[in-house]
Amino acid sequence: MSQLALSSINSGHVDDLSSSRKEPDWLREFRRNSLSIYDEMPVETSPLYNKYTDAKRMNQEQVSLSTAGGGSLPSFIEARVAELGNSPGIVQVGSGIHRINLPDDKLVISSIGDALLNGGPARALVESADPHEDKFTALNNAAFDSGIYIEIPDGYDKEEPIHILTCLPEDRLSTISRNVIKVGRDSRSTIVQELYSPPGQGQQAYLEVLTTDIGPGARLSATTLQMMDQASVNFSTRRSDVAQDATINWYLGLFGTVLSRYRIDYKLMGTGASANDSEVVFGTGDQSFDIQSNLNHEAGSTEGRVIEKSILRERSKSLFKGMIRIMEGAAKSNSYLSGRSILLDPDAKSDAIPGLEILTNDVKATHAASVAQIDEEQIFYLQTRCLTEAEAERTIVEGFLEPLSRKMSYQVRAWIAQLVESKWEGKNLAINTDEELRKFIEVEETRYNEDEEIEQHYKYR
């Protein structure tokens, strides 16, 4: 098994990858062309963003790649995998597939390699990632060594989530993953993606390109929870194409890694398409989070909303970049973009760079950004109510997240609450559905059950 550092990636490694997987000629050529583009592109194509980004903090000498990977299931996620039981989903360890559960034969869940060899829509969706748009998209196109393919059929309608659990291997090899989700016409589905990595020294990376295709009239609710070790690096480039009258709701929680870089593009392609993106970031220590979220309105009467909220302690930092683009044929569109950060320590830092490009009339578009430390008067007020300073800070942070939480399901809200508490107390990051988590769900269900208050009002009149 040959290994090389990311800084030394070359055409030989790319050809070895393609040969070891017996890939077709078109894919081999696709890899080579993307590698040539990767070598020429800067880390950031925008001069405005380049001065702020921390993407160069990824140590390419420490990020090790291999033409063969995988490995056994790390012990620290064994309980979580067992807890998922026979729920539909896939477990990936490094570049290998550990397990696929497929209780519904209408679903398609496989590795991206199998999907590309079997034909179908996988090829077009993989090729849709333009290597000229981003350096790390070009890298993924050239050197992806793993990936997941999920196809949800037309008319599929089930509340049970499809789980994608990905963990880096304990041999410290990094993973470059090409993930594709295709959602059929008029379907209703939920996806939960969990990202883990083992503790260790030196940077270990999970580099991902995720393409999501939402068919007409479909509705997808997706959650990504990134809980990787703070020695790890996570780069993710995401694109969602949303067809006529389709809806995508994506909830993103970033808690781990020393460096996370997310580039997220929503392309609202059909009339009535909508995208709702809610992002929560909690940074401690020297963590850095670099997020770019773009709403692209290609058709009329489309709606987009991105709300990002960061909680930053110690020396952590965040960078929120975003753009609303409303094209000439997208009249009557409605779009909102917001990035807000709360700084809990003097050395924490946050930058926000939202923007608008409006090429037509009769639209609604606005953006907002704020960065502030906790108000000392609010701390003082809560201390007069017998809270300690730490408890007062915690209460203010909960209030900061509450408007965002109301848009989430009870389950996602409970997971976010559990991860915030774990991060606050310095515990290991993980989610579960056992008794420990049910207490969060009970609180959240009671907290937001406005109908119950109305029913009791009429009951006791």
- Per-residue pLDDT for 444 more than 70? no
- Per-residue pLDDT for 423 more than 80? yes
Q: Is 342 helix (H, G, I), strand (E, B) or coil?
A: strand
Tens-digit pLDDT profile for residues 44-92:
877 777 777 888 888 888 888 887 766 789 989 998 998 888 889 999 9
Which residues pair with residue 127 across a beta bridge?
none
For the chain, give the secondary structure using H, E and C: CCEEEHHHCCHHHHHHHHHHCCCCHHHHHHHHHHHHHHHHCCCCCCHHHHCCCCHHHCCCCCCEEECCCCCCCCHHHHHHHHHHCCCCEEEEECCEEEEEECCCCCCEEEEHHHHHHCCCCHHHHHHCCCCCCCHHHHHHHHHCCECEEEEECCCCECCCCEEEEEECCCCCECEEEEEEEEECCCCEEEEEEEEECCCCCCCEEEEEEEEEEECCCCEEEEEEEECCCCCEEEEEEEEEEECCCCEEEEEEEECCCCEEEEEEEEEECCCCCEEEEEEEEEECCCCEEEEEEEEEECCCCCEEEEEEEEEECCCCEEEEEEEEEECCCCCCCEEEEEEEEEECCCCCEEEEEEEEEECCCCCEEEEEEEEEECCHHHHHHHHCCCCCHHHHHHHHHHHHHHHHHCCCCHHHHHHHHHHHHHHHHCCCCCCCCCHHHHHHHHHHHHHCCHHHHHHHHHHCC
Q: How confident is the model at residue 284 (pLDDT cuts 50, 70, 90)?
A: very high
Q: How many CA atoms lie within 13 A of 17 on its CB side?
A: 31
How many of the other CB atoms lie within 10 Å of CB of 305? 18
Among 146-160, 209-223, 383-397, the range scoring the smallest mean pLDDT is: 383-397
Q: What is the pLDDT of residue 460?
A: 47
Greater confidence (190 vs 41) lies with: 190
Mean pLDDT of 344-357: 92
pTM score above 0.85: yes
Average pLDDT of the chain to the nearest whole number: 88
Give me the count of residues in the chain: 461
- Per-residue pLDDT for 448 more than 60? no
Q: How confident is the model at residue 340 (pLDDT cuts 50, 70, 90)?
A: very high
Tens-digit pLDDT profile for residues 82-141:
888 888 999 999 888 999 998 877 899 999 999 998 878 999 999 999 999 889 999 999
Percentage of the chain surpassing pLDDT 90?
55
Tens-digit pLDDT profile for residues 323-337:
999 999 999 999 999
How many of the other CB atoms lie within 10 Å of CB of 272? 18
Mean pLDDT of 378-392: 86
